[in-house]
Structure 1
Amino acid sequence: MAYNPQRALELLRVGSGIPNARFREGQEDAIRAVVAGAQRLLVVQKTGWGKSFVYFIAIKLLREAGQGPALLISPLLSLMRNQIAAAQRMGVRAATIHSDNQDDWPDVEARLNRNEVDILLISPERLANEHFRSRVLAGVASRIALLVVDEAHCISDWGHDFRPHYRLLERIVRTLPSNLRLLATTATANNRVMDDLRTVLGPDLAVSHGDLNRPSLTLQSIRLPGQAERLAWLAEQLPNLPGSGIVYTLTVRDAGQVADWLRSRGLRVAAYTGETGERRPELEQALLDNRVKALVATTALGMGFDKPDLAFVIHYQTPGSVVAYYQQVGRAGRALDTAYGVLLSGREENDINDFFIASAFPTAHEVETVLAALEQHPGGLSVPELEALVNLSRGRIQKTMDLLSLESPAPIAKQGARWQLTAARLGQGFWERAKRLTELRRAEQQQMQDYVSLESGHMEFLIRALDGEAGLIQPPRLPPLPTTASVDLVREAIAFLRRTSLPIEPRKQWPTGGLPQFEVAGNIGLNRRAEPGRCLCVWGDAGWGDLVRQGKYRDHHFSDDLVTACVGLVATWHPEPMPTWVTCIPSLRHPDLVPDLARRLAKALGLPFHAVLEKTAERPAQKTMANSSQQAHNLDGSLDIRQALPGGPVLLVDDMVDSRWTLTVAAWLLRRHGSGPVWPLALALTGHD
């Protein structure tokens, strides 16, 4: 069909709200190629270039010419609010179907059937949903005029652990008519990703590739191994930076901790993570309006967020790949002459990234364990039922199911809530891909460590790592920021880290099937339940974590400093009614470690200590139990009380906690034998208890 350049420019100006807006280099060519050429096109352009305008203007022109609707697949529907608003200004009727708007699904389906939707936006997970495929997609498939794949690099194997359902696109694209318009967009695609995309989207894939250079960005990398050093650096430098920005962390907990610290220093910041939930739009708007200095965010605030005047992006730790880093740092300075992109590097980042890499695929043992359990139950098993049968965590079970179900042919399939074996067998290609990708991620991790070591040439390094043409790189326009932090601020950051504590929420229900030897099941009554407790730190973390680790495994004795810290924690916590005595969790493997800590803590608190709990049976260490159900059953019948209790509220001490089952069973026993409220206190939150 013919392309109307005047109408396209009019739509750009209406959508952008800028009366004299002009197309950026390559933008109109991409729209023309989609509308008039009916070809498969990949647009690789840096963040902020305006990729969403390409597909929204193209679909508006197609609809005005009597063509059918468009289908857009994106992992970022919750972050596309401003793009959808621009589309609506152009008169594009956009609708979304995703897990967070299920109440809207019937209305969206009805509007699709009445041809009242111009573009339907879905997450890749919808492609695995039988209801969506049979009730929604089947009804409009023959009418679709344009398929848009947003963040197309996720099709590549690079995205397998971010949104693995992108793999389903490969099967869908193979079934499409060869003349169906297809537009794929991304901000980052090195040669390896480009090869993957051609394999999936077709060898005749045309490519519109823009310049990767970002002259407005002044990039810098700084090694500050300790968390306290980086917290101090942020508190010292953020007030001096112009405008507002983003501070990225690798974990949800770090985002919360960094935000808490910066707020304690008087800075207007907020944490933004996958757990932020309904507050996401509010926090995004606060950043857009410059009502906060920064959002301290995980990758939950990533691709799709658009703030052209973002003045800085700072990383608290090093991401695992150049692709991820360029995506994130590229949010800064899109409509500014100058902006900072600073990468802080800390000692914990390699452990975190190692965990991400190691957990990206199930192990052979995990796959064999799950498939063996399913073979024993032809009627299928739900994930909670599998959890009770196999010694794997729920997350590892879910990861195994997700990735195996995406194989073609898949060895497992889901019927309702249950997973069942199919006639297919897992091919060797699965393991070959896992090995290749793991090696690739290790190489990408090392590439980022090479970036951290640079003293100059940061932009050139990123462009070359992304297989771009570096060309003429202008010198940084802003002076480098200091590479050290104030000694006094570091001391204050250490004190802050040591003041923090974590809640220990009481369990309210016994595991599925109960604990037969204790003869308990169902809900845990209020008069048998632990009270909300406190944990001093996270195992091995900054603050007290390293000292706990040293005491447990090097010194076999917890230091007086930890006793003093616990006294301070109890004083700040001030449980009511206050404990009148102290007891502890016993251990046959380390019979003196925790009792010695509890005795010294009791003396410091001026309370009597009574070792009333006994370990009656040797069981495997809780750390060898991979999920909550296994941890609970591992304790069944292994604790007892064989003496009279003093009565009154009690402080129940342990060194490590995670699943909380040890504390739950101990509290139940104490309450059943006549104690008052049981207040748990542990040194460290860890992967087991």
Structure 2
Amino acid sequence: MERMEHTSNADLRAAADTVLARLVGDVSGTARLREDQWRAIEALVADRRRALVVQRTGWGKSAVYFVATSLLRAQGSGPTVIVSPLLALMRNQVEAAARAGIHARTINSSNTEEWEDVQDEIAAGAVDVLLVSPERLNNPDFRDQVLPRLAAATGLLVVDEAHCISDWGHDFRPDYRRLRTMLADLPPGVPVLATTATANARVTADVAEQLGTGGSSDALVLRGPLDRDSLSLGVLRLSDAAHRMAWLAEHLDELPGSGIIYTLTVAAAEEVTAFLRQRGHTVASYTGKTENADRQQAEEDLLANKVKALVATSALGMGFDKPDLGFVVHLGSPSSPIAYYQQVGRAGRGVEHAEVLLLPGKEDEAIWEYFASLAFPSEELVRRTLDILAHAEKPLSLPALEPLVELRRSRLESMLKVLDVDGAVKRVKGGWIATGQPWTYDAERYAWVARQRKAEQRAMREYASTTDCRMEFLQRQLDDEAAKPCGRCDNCAGPRFTADMSEEALDAARVDLGRAGVDVEPRRMWPTGLPAIGVDLKGRLPAGEQAAPGRALGRLSDIGWGNRLRPMLAAQAPDGPVPDDVAKAVVGVLADWAKGPGGWAGGVQDPQPRPVGVVIVASRTRPQLIHSLGARIAEVGRLPLLGAVEYTGEVYPGPRSNSAQRLKALDGALTVPPALASALAEAQGPVLLVDDYTETGWTLAVAARMLRRSGAQGVLPLVLAVQG
């Protein structure tokens, strides 16, 4: 870029408007920054201050940092470093920067082969903007080798979606805490910009404190009104999942342009996508399980209006920028009004009118409770982890540490990242080590966060039922002092949608949601690290000891059978015989299984021999349910109920958070009674193994292994539900 000497603020403002015109493609050159955008740029470029900008989605936060970058680079500053949470945002930002003549590059997990070239370009002064994912900040090689040089050369640090740094917020990400290290290493006078659209006063104060944007008198905090005059908010209450799916199928084409349909779970996103396609709509699924290439294609198709909607989980949130997005519909309510505001803020950024509609469901709160269970672990678990690391002879990788700790890998990793930032552990080559530094479990803070989550859930229930202005309600939840009635929402201006739908569409939705049957893949490999916890198993399960692929009636997370099974299998649910509708559905699953590929009644690919009997997994919590289910299956299939795999001893091995700990709990806990072993030896064929639900899959695997060793020629697992 052409270098310029320091100029007056008037000249600087003119130069800033020129850059803005290039950024937005304004060939007439008449584009002008808004006053609040200019205030932020002036603070960064002229005064080299730190600034926190809390402004609604679509306000133009990216224009601030791109214009500031152009001006700073012209003055000879180093490259701008933008810490950005999502690849979608990075792709959009690189394209936007190019329009303004700004050369942007990225360093993230998807382009490792380019890292060396990018670093060479930075060293040569050819990179104006470097976008970095927060996860890179805690990668040992990047943290120790790249980050110090990058901090020394940085001309402007931008923390996008800065609410992620605060565990008071709805989308806390521990990797963001590593920014404090980078901030400490910045040379004096390097400006810092933190931006977010979704922060209430408490989160704003926390972010300001952590980023050093609120602790000094010269810091600038710009907080604007959050009303979006293009959004028309509404809530439509429908009686069940079938009515919601049927309504959407019949009214989707009435919604303006193209948009996003949010669901709370991956299973629901896949169900809704399949049904809408069946009803003739062009939609695509977008979840955390979607492959990166498929995600990018889905984003491009929505940007080009090749699809009517993406049916998405929260995986499609921050960073997706489509100015003409015409609607956002939620099938199920998010647990936080701040998260809801963020997601609906994707719509109406570049159009005069966009529809925002919430279709709450009865299953919402059960899903909220599940996600709430993934909060920061108890002090006992944290201390145990620190003790294990302290006594380890070498760094422990996540796979090596997981069997020793009662946590799933994703939750364990998140906890370690928090401990890393707190200085109690450190990530090094080969894994994690304890630093020996004292660490305090902030029980008061974690309890406060948990109470906040509950308060947010109450607020979302209130949002759905309020008769007051819905936009004003959301603004007040984000502590917006400018909140006032919007005049556009269904409570201000009257409902824009009715609950009308055809019986044909409703019947189709009921059939679709009532379709039973989910594959249950058997376990084939023992988890790593079992010998370290006293379980002498490793490698592959012998083929002759494995279960065959099985079936479940449904997933607990779906909106079809999941809604029926969740209350029945809840921890506090009373025990009793299997309900008739559930039993009939299970029989239907069995019939489809028998006739399908790999079945025993007409399947053409590797058919199984017909089952010769039924075995149940004994239950101390639901003995009536399991026994009656096994008996009904045996009666309908004209098979003998051969017996049960029993539990030994007094201690009942309840659920465990990860596979290794589950197997340790099961080690020696199951037995095949002599009568059952004798029956298996005489049966001469495979058996159906019946249980209530499966989560890790290891109870089925261990029971199947024991049955195979006792003479069963095959084991076909059949459960009511799959957790997840």
When the two structures are superposed, what TM-score results if normalisation uses the length of structure 1?
0.91
Does residue 1:439 correspond to 2:451, yes or no?
Answer: yes
Matched-pair contact (CA < 8 Å) for 2:201–2:478 = yes
Change (3 A) 1:288 1:89: same
Give distance in 2, aligned partners of 1:131 and 1:199.
28
Does residue 1:506 correspond to 2:522, yes or no?
Answer: yes
* Equivalent position to 1:8, from 4, 11, 16: 16
Instruction: Give 1:596's aligned residue.
Output: 628
Instruction: Give 1:642's aligned residue.
Output: 677
Give distance in 1, aligned partners of 2:172 and 2:163.
11
Instruction: Give 1:269's aligned residue.
Output: 283
Spell out the pairing of 1:177-196 with structure 2 (5 A cutoff): 177-196=187-206
SS at match of 2:199: coil
Matched-pair contact (CA < 8 Å) for 1:94–1:118 = yes
SS at match of 1:148: strand
Spell out the pairing of 1:430-579 with structure 2 (5 A cutoff): 430-468=442-480, 469-470=482-483, 473-476=486-489, 480-482=495-497, 484=499, 486=501, 488=503, 489-512=505-528, 521-539=538-556, 542-545=559-562, 548=565, 553-573=573-593, 574=596, 575-576=598-599, 577-578=607-608, 579=610
Matched-pair contact (CA < 8 Å) for 2:265–2:558 = no
Change (3 A) 1:584 1:431: same
Instruction: Give 2:329's aligned residue.
Output: 314
Instruction: Give 1:347's aligned residue.
Output: 362
Does residue 1:286 correspond to 2:323, yes or no?
Answer: no
Does residue 1:140 correspond to 2:150, yes or no?
Answer: yes
Does residue 1:626 correspond to 2:657, yes or no?
Answer: yes
Instruction: Give 1:66's aligned residue.
Output: 76
Deviation of 1:676 (Å): 4.2
Matched-pair contact (CA < 8 Å) for 1:225–1:345 = no
Matched-pair contact (CA < 8 Å) for 1:269–1:292 = yes
Give distance in 2, aligned partners of 1:327 and 1:379.
43
- Letter matched to residue 615 of structure 1: E
Matched-pair contact (CA < 8 Å) for 1:537–1:685 = yes
Bigger mean CA deviation after superposition, 536-545 or 84-93: 536-545
Matched-pair contact (CA < 8 Å) for 1:77–1:121 = no
Residues 403-425 of structure 1: CA deviation (Å, up to 9, x unaligned): 22221xx2222333433332222
Change (3 A) 1:483 1:167: farther
Deviation of 1:656 (Å): 1.5
Does residue 1:238 correspond to 2:252, yes or no?
Answer: yes
Deviation of 1:593 (Å): 4.3
Matched-pair contact (CA < 8 Å) for 2:381–2:405 = no
Matched-pair contact (CA < 8 Å) for 1:613–1:639 = no
Deviation of 1:660 (Å): 1.4
Does residue 1:198 correspond to 2:218, yes or no?
Answer: no
Matched-pair contact (CA < 8 Å) for 1:94–1:119 = yes
SS at match of 2:76: coil
Change (3 A) 1:153 1:624: closer
Give distance in 1, aligned partners of 2:164 and 2:537.
47
Give distance in 2, aligned partners of 1:188 and 1:48.
12
Change (3 A) 1:153 1:609: same
Matched-pair contact (CA < 8 Å) for 1:370–1:397 = no
Identical residues among aligned pairs (%): 43
Change (3 A) 1:285 1:636: same
Matched-pair contact (CA < 8 Å) for 2:704–2:715 = yes
SS at match of 2:654: helix
- Letter matched to residue 642 of structure 1: A
Give distance in 2, aligned partners of 1:508 and 1:115.
52
Matched-pair contact (CA < 8 Å) for 1:219–1:459 = yes
Does residue 1:259 correspond to 2:296, yes or no?
Answer: no
Residues 435-492 of structure 1: CA deviation (Å, up to 9, x unaligned): 2222223222222222211234111222233232135734459862435354834454
Change (3 A) 1:549 1:73: closer
Spell out the pairing of 1:68-83 with structure 2 (5 A cutoff): 68-83=78-93
Matched-pair contact (CA < 8 Å) for 1:80–1:305 = no
Instruction: Give 1:422's aligned residue.
Output: 435
When the two structures are superposed, what TM-score results if normalisation uses the length of structure 2?
0.87
Tell me how many residue pairs correspond in the alignment: 683
Give distance in 2, aligned partners of 1:328 and 1:226.
23
Residues 81-118 of structure 1: CA deviation (Å, up to 9, x unaligned): 12211212322221111222222222222222222211
SS at match of 2:51: strand
Deviation of 1:244 (Å): 1.2
Matched-pair contact (CA < 8 Å) for 2:688–2:715 = yes
Residues 302-346 of structure 1: CA deviation (Å, up to 9, x unaligned): 111111111111112222323212111111112222111112222
Give distance in 1, aligned partners of 2:568 and 2:643.
24
- Letter matched to residue 107 of structure 1: D
Give distance in 2, aligned partners of 1:434 and 1:654.
36
Bigger mean CA deviation after superposition, 649-658 or 503-512: 649-658
Deviation of 1:7 (Å): 4.3
Matched-pair contact (CA < 8 Å) for 1:222–1:343 = yes
Matched-pair contact (CA < 8 Å) for 1:551–1:558 = no
- Letter matched to residue 495 of structure 1: V
Residues 380-428 of structure 1: CA deviation (Å, up to 9, x unaligned): 5433333323433334433332222221xx2222333433332222225
Change (3 A) 1:337 1:588: closer
Residues 126-168 of structure 1: CA deviation (Å, up to 9, x unaligned): 2222321332122233322111111122233334853122222
Question: What RMSD over aligned residues (CA atoms) do the two structures have, in Å?
Answer: 3.0
Spell out the pairing of 1:353-368 with structure 2 (5 A cutoff): 353-368=368-383
Matched-pair contact (CA < 8 Å) for 1:75–1:163 = no
Q: Which runs of 5+ in 2 are unaligned?
A: 1-5, 600-606
Deviation of 1:542 (Å): 4.6
Matched-pair contact (CA < 8 Å) for 1:581–1:602 = no
Change (3 A) 1:257 1:546: closer
Instruction: Give 1:216's aligned residue.
Output: 230
Deviation of 1:613 (Å): 5.6
SS at match of 2:683: coil
Change (3 A) 1:592 1:611: farther
